[in-house]
Chain A
Amino acid sequence: DSGVTQTPKHLITATGQRVTLRCSPRSGDLSVYWYQQSLDQGLQFLIHYYNGEERAKGNILERFSAQQFPDLHSELNLSSLELGDSALYFCASSVRTGANTGELFFGEGSRLTVL
């Protein structure tokens, strides 16, 4: 158990809808990262928050947004969903900001299916 909690584990929705994925980082971790894993694109970095502030953006679509709250949990909002958004969405956390200074602890992911 990594200590990172993601909910829901599975989510099925329709095109055009909006969903929110939630992540609770390990106790004491200030950084939260979101990754998307799909069959065609593999694992891709979406966005990074540190102590409530956005620190970096990767290949995140404009239809997607995220935030980190004062209690350090994070939410990833996906709107106007398309079939191609079906994927496994991972949250990861770390104490510090730099991935190369330490390991990232990954949750078990939220599997989104868009029908």
Chain B
Amino acid sequence: AQSVTQLDSHVSVSEGTPVLLRCNYSSSYSPSLFWYVQHPNKGLQLLLKYTSAATLVKGINGFEAEFKKSETSFHLTKPSAHMSDAAEYFCVVSAANYGGSQGNLIFGKGTKLSVKP
């Protein structure tokens, strides 16, 4: 079965320093992978998605992620953190490629990003 593992439940960085949020996936097929962000008391918003095109995916707000099949990873990065980046980030795999129900997104446990001034 497909799954995602977010390696850190909490990451703390200083404003202006790089951000790295780690995600590993498990899949027998080429997966569709996503990163979603959830700000406090808000719904989830798509940051970026990988669907077997370019392995380096650029998203909103300066975030990007690189799909590495050999490492089964899809880490999220940003060169310089901003205070407004403080939120919870979810790595997500779609079950739709595996005969699973379309729309069935499998979420990681989330990584809470704190940004210190």
Binding site for B on A (CB under 8 A): 2, 4, 31, 33, 35, 42-45, 48, 55-58, 90, 92, 94, 97-101, 103-104, 106-109
Residues on B with beta carbons closer than 8 Å to the beta carbon of A92? 43-44
Interface centre among B49, B51, B101, B104 (most CB of A within 10 A): B104
Tell me whether A104 and B103 are in contact (CB under 8 A): yes
Pick the contact of A56 from B41, B44, B103, B108 — CB < 8 Å?
B103
Interface size in chain B (residues, C-beta < 8 A): 26
Which residues in window 31-76 of B have CB below 8 A to A? 32, 34, 41-46, 49, 51
Known contacts A42-B110, A100-B94: does B44 contact A48 (CB below 8 Å)?
Answer: no
CB of B26 within 8 A of chain A? no
Q: Is the CB of A4 within 8 A of B43?
A: yes
Instruction: State the total of A-B contacts with C-beta under 8 angstroms.
Output: 76
Are the CB atoms of B43 and A97 closer together than 8 Å? no
Partner of B103, one of A99, A106, A107, A109: A99
Q: Known contacts A99-B94, A100-B51, A100-B97; is A107 also within 8 Å of B107 by CB?
A: no
Q: Which 6 residue pairs are nearest across A and B when measured between Cβ atoms?
A: A56-B101, A100-B32, A106-B43, A100-B94, A43-B107, A103-B46
* Cross-chain contact A55 with B103 (CB below 8 angstroms): yes
The answer, yes or no, to whether B22 is at the interface (CB within 8 Å) is no
Inter-chain contact B107/A99, CB cutoff 8 Å: no
A58-B44 in contact (CB<8A) = no
Complex A-B: 9 CB contacts under 8 Å? A43-B90, A48-B104, A56-B103, A56-B104, A92-B43, A98-B94, A103-B34, A106-B44, A109-B43
